[in-house]
Amino acid sequence: MLITKYGVDNFLIIIITSIILFVLGYFINSLYAKYPLMLLSIILFVFAFVFFRDPERQVPLVAQNDDSYVISPADGKVVEIIEEEEKYYIKNKAIRLSIFLSPVDVHVNRSPVSGLVEFYNYYPGEYLVAYHPKSSELNEHSKIGVMTSKGKVLFKQIVGVLARRIVCVVKEGDILKSGDKIGMMKFGSRMDVYLPLETNFKVKVGDRVVAGETILAIMK
């Protein structure tokens, strides 16, 4: 199983911690401490591989050849598709699609569109849970604005109440292709994508999506 380069430090810390707990549990005589410690160590060990995995993804051929297609930037569940004002990059009304990631989802993020990165902003933020309505603006997040052949698109990495850290490797001036890896969100996360009002959406609230593979919408 491939482990993402964006989380190697955290992955090693969790693995080492799990090994230490297992060894401690093994040498403790008390059954009330031995088995809980050993069980916790196994859970942490498995969690590290699940959370930091980085599986291969195949971008749909139609999205590779047509810039109007928008693919999912994250694994997870679509929790909102609503119209609202986007004041930082698009600076107009847009449709926001929000994806909530559970701890067992892949947390490596990918670009949903092809184009030129014209805008990037990082905000340290607060500690609301990722699915909270205000988390989009108040929590730690990064905003990436991309000029595509069909217009402006903004997407946001948002992390939640647990240990928070956003990794984003893009910068202004970069050229992105649909499905390019852009970083990851660690522990309790959400991804917002802002698209033009006339966009034709191919998913609905409640749908499960896969980063780099699921077609979210087609821009006109």
Residue-wise pLDDT for 58-108, tens only, equals 999 999 999 999 999 999 999 999 999 999 999 999 999 999 998 889 999
Per the prediction, the chain carries an average pLDDT of 91
Separation of alpha carbons 21 and 205, rounded Å: 41
Closest CA to 193 of 41, 76, 65, 51: 76
Q: 61-218: what CATH class?
A: mainly beta
Closest CA to 111 of 191, 196, 194, 178: 178
Which amino acid is present at 98?
S
68 catalytic? Reply is: no
Say what the pTM is: 0.88
Residue-wise pLDDT for 146-166, tens only, equals 999 999 999 999 987 665 688
Angle among Cα 137, 147, 183 to the nearest 5 degrees reads 55
Would you place residue 114 in the very low, low, confident or very high pLDDT band (cuts 50, 70, 90)? very high
Please compute the mean of the pLDDT values over residues 199-210 and round it to a whole number. Answer: 97
Backbone angles phi, psi at 111, to 5 degrees: -70, 130
Residue 127 confidence (pLDDT): 64
Instruction: Please classify residue 173 by burial: count the beta carbons closer than 10 Å to its beta carbon, then call 0-12 exposed, 13-18 middle and 19+ buried.
Output: exposed
Residue 217 confidence (pLDDT): 97
Closest CA to 69 of 59, 83, 78: 59
107 DSSP 8-state letter:
-
- Checking if the pLDDT of 187 tops 80, the result is no
Residue 215 confidence (pLDDT): 98
Residue ranges covered by each domain of the chain: 5-51, 61-218
- DSSP helix/strand/coil, 63: helix
Please compute the mean of the pLDDT values over residues 164-173 and round it to a whole number. Answer: 89
Residue 112 confidence (pLDDT): 97
